[in-house]
Amino acid sequence: MLLCLLWVPFLFSPGLLQAQEEGARTLDALQKKYSGLKDYTVDVNVHFDVEGFKAPDMQAKLYCKPPDKMKIESKRIFFLPKEGGTFNPFMFNKEDFEVKLLERLTYEGRNVVKLKLTPKKRKLNAQDFILTVDTDRHLIREMNTSSFDGREVKALIEYGNFGDFDLPTRIELHLNVQFSESMEIRDFGPSAQPAKRVTGRVDITYSNYKVNSGLSDEIFKERESLVPKGR
């Protein structure tokens, strides 16, 4: 108890408060930069270089309407990494996270800050984010996530300018995740193997952006899903 009380003055120290405020301001600036982004459409190509995952490049059209509407259109099966696979500047809302400024540094000759975002609401799949944000251009350059079950994802983001907005042209994801067997094909054979750590890289490239073309909400009502239609 005494030990806890000793920490109280530090919690309210001006330096700490200032760092928290600066972190929140950085997130605000990010969202403000994209406040005019009403919707966008983009062609996505995903290239996998992940251990044990043998798949050709996958292509799809991505429809996005910030803050939370997204649709993928693909004639074939399409896998998109959950963490870092899509760009949504509105996902880091300062109301939803405890923001902590970790450090200031330079990244490719630009001023950046490293922020640690911890979800305020602890859900089962909650995870912390560490963002490297370019404070000159208000861009997320790197995103690191780690979850309670040891999944780690690092995203490196490159941008291009489209209709007054800086939008990703390439996201390079580095995965370090746990893979366990499921029941896709089961035969009279060897028993299930224990979960295995899988590392690899996923390159996502974005092209043919159409920004603020006035996408209708109707587009997002019918989600392309795993389950076949007519069921």
Residues that bind another protein (CB under 8 A): 51-56, 60, 72, 74, 76-83, 85, 151, 153, 175, 177-193, 196, 224-228, 231
Total number of residues shown for the chain: 231
Q: Which is nearer to another protein, 20 or 59 (CB)?
A: 59
Amino acid at 68: D
Q: Which is nearer to another protein, 150 or 163 (CB)?
A: 150
Measured distance CA(215)–CA(73) in Å, rounded: 14
CA distance 154 to 85: 11
Cβ-based nearer residue to another protein, 57 or 136: 57
3 state SS of 228: coil
- Closer to another protein at the Cβ: 3 or 124? 124
Rounded (5°) CA angle 31-34-37: 135
Q: How far is the CB of 169 from another protein (least distance, A)?
A: 20
Closest to another protein by CB, 83 or 142? 83
| The two structure tokens encoding residue 2 | 């005494």
Minimum separation from the CB atom of position 64 to another protein (A): 13
Q: Which two tokens stand for residue 177?
A: 């995740």
Shortest reach from residue 41's CB to another protein, in Å: 16
Q: Which of 229, 230, 175 is nearest to 200 (CA)?
A: 175
Tally Cβ neighbours within 10 Å of residue 129: 21
In the complex, least distance from residue 8 CB atom to another protein, rounded to whole angstroms: 39
Shortest distance, position 60 Cβ to another protein, whole Å? 7
